[in-house]
């Protein structure tokens, strides 16, 4: 039986009005993210890679072409349906962590489960288990300002995975980390990709980081200019 891609973009365009002109961020990009994939999207600033990530995660919608997440065409979904789909299928990790500063690590991780209506006890149990998976079972009640940069990024990864998504989208996840800490975070993403089967899409400008992925999509000026396997 053929397994449907986790995310599929077919000739996707994204344009933005800018005063009297129109800025084109993506120009007919086609991309498939397969279950269990480990894909790097690489390119310089302004190449369209972050715009593509926002589309792949359902945070934005294309102005042309077709985008399907979990087999569902996003153009057919209401905003509430799209938000529910994101919560079910996609986890996000950002360069700046985006943790709530006055909230403990375990409650930061549990936050996506609030939107599912999960009970407080079950949320905390699941969040604690995920923090254990990323090596932070001893930091459950620490707030972000009590954690190192690498620990904060691991909390963000645990939060992204707490809903058991099909795809983890990571936008420059090592950008604010030193080399050794960044190496540890990449190793963690690779281990989780292998052990849980979650597809990882890593957005980066760093060719060395991208080279660790199974596949690379190279972008320039809103287009895919090269695809590299292995």
Average pLDDT over residues 212-221: 94
* Beta bridge partners of residue 188, listed in sequence order: none
| Cα atoms in the 13 Å half-sphere on the side-chain side of 217 | 23
How do residues 201-210 score in pLDDT, each as one tens digit?
999 988 899 9
Question: Which pLDDT does position 73 carry in this prediction?
Answer: 95
Q: Residue 172: left if φ>0, alpha if ψ -120 to 50, beta else—which one?
A: left
**The CATH number of domain 35-50+78-229, selected from 3.40.50.2300, 3.40.50.300, 3.40.50.720, 1.10.1740.10:** 3.40.50.300
For the chain, the distance separating the N- and C-terminal CA atoms, rounded to the nearest angstrom, is 26
* Beta bridge partners of residue 229, listed in sequence order: 215
Average pLDDT over residues 115-136: 92
How do residues 78-94 score in pLDDT, each as one tens digit?
999 999 999 889 999 98
């Amino acid at each position: 039986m053929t397994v449907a891609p986790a995310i599929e973009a077919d000739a996707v365009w994204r344009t933005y009005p800018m005063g009297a002109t129109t800025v084109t961020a993506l120009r007919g990009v086609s991309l498939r993210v397969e279950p269990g994939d480990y894909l790097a999207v690489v390119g310089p600033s302004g190449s369209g890679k972050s715009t593509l990530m926002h589309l792949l995660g359902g945070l934005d919608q294309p102005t042309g072409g077709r985008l399907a997440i979990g087999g569902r065409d996003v153009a057919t979904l209401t905003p509430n349906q799209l938000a529910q789909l994101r919560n079910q299928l996609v986890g996000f990790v950002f360069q700046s962590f985006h943790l709530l500063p006055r909230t403990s690590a375990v409650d930061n991780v549990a936050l996506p489960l609030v939107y599912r209506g999960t009970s407080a006890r079950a949320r905390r149990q699941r969040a604690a288990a995920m923090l254990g998976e990323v090596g932070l079972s001893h930091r459950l009640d620490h707030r972000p300002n009590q954690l190192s940069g690498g620990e904060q990024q691991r909390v963000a990864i645990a939060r992204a995975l707490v809903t058991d998504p099909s795809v983890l989208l990571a936008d420059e996840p090592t950008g604010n980390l030193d080399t050794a800490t960044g190496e540890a975070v990449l190793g963690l993403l690779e281990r989780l990709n292998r052990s849980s089967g979650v597809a990882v899409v890593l957005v980066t400008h760093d060719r060395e980081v991208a080279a660790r992925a199974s596949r690379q999509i190279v972008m320039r000026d809103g287009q895919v200019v090269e695809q590299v396997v292995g």
